[in-house]
């Protein structure tokens, strides 16, 4: 695609540039995303507008094609990495301006399980959707989850497992939360290849998420409900 090389980002108007950034994100072009972010900031865009209109919207398109089987995990990881590079520029600026976040999530792979590709994908796409994500990594005992919940007070707790032998540990975490009387304060989402809807229900999770795109959609709908309840209560 020779003509692709001839595009000079700084010569595009705002609308064309945002469109181009969606394409570059889709193609996982890290440097171009960073350049685009900096150009928009230089033109007086707020960090929040750059995040939502260029990056989040771009990742939403990636998420839809991932859900529909047009894109696969390697491509989505590339897109998510490009998004991360753009976020690297925006994060400190967003913190300064106190920009609104969609919500907060703590996520980790459960004890005994060291698989993290699916979890990483969820983390990246949740960040891409505008969530603050605290990723605990792999092999997490119940204490790690409880500590992170206390520290970050997230809206959502996400647990992942790829082995049938580690799946039951999710119930240990949920049961411990129940014992401590904090289960109802958080939305618990579970995912991983061997899981299914029935398993999610059986262990008392709020939802089972088939893949990262579904996780983002599910998280958003729970946050919308929470928001509406808050308005109703207010």
Query: Any idea where the domains of the chain sit in the sequence?
Result: 2-97, 103-233
The domain over range 103-233 is classified in CATH as 3.40.50.300: no
Predicted confidence (pLDDT) per residue in 25-80, tens digit? 999 999 999 999 999 999 999 998 998 899 989 998 998 898 899 999 899 989 98
pLDDT at 2: 42
**Is the pLDDT confidence value at 100 over 50?**
yes
Beta bridge partners of 208: 190
- Which CATH number, 1.10.630.10, 1.10.1240.10, 3.10.580.10, 1.10.260.40, labels domain 2-97? 1.10.1240.10
Question: What is the value of pTM for the model shown?
Answer: 0.78
């Amino acid at each position: 695609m020779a003509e692709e090389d001839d595009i000079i980002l700084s010569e595009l108007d705002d609308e064309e540039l945002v469109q181009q950034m969606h394409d570059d994100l889709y193609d996982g072009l890290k440097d171009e995303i960073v350049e685009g972010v900096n150009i928009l900031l230089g033109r007086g865009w707020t960090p929040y507008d750059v995040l939502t209109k260029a990056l989040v919207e771009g990742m939403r398109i990636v998420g839809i094609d991932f859900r529909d089987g047009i894109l696969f995990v390697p491509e989505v990881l590339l897109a998510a990495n490009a998004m991360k590079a753009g976020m690297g520029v925006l994060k400190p600026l967003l913190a300064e301006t106190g920009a609104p976040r969609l919500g907060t999530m703590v996520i980790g792979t459960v004890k005994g399980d060291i698989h993290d590709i699916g979890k990483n994908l969820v983390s990246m796409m949740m960040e891409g959707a505008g969530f603050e994500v605290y990723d605990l990594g792999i092999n997490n005992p119940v204490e790690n989850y409880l500590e992170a919940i206390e520290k970050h007070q997230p809206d959502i707790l996400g647990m992942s497992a790829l082995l049938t032998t580690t799946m039951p540990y999710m119930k240990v975490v949920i049961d411990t939360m129940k014992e401590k009387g904090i289960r109802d304060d958080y939305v618990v989402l579970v995912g991983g290849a061997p899981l299914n809807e029935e398993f999610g229900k059986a262990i008392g999770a709020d939802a089972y998420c088939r893949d990262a795109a579904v996780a983002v959609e599910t998280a958003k709908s729970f946050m919308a409900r929470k928001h509406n309840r808050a308005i109703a209560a207010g």
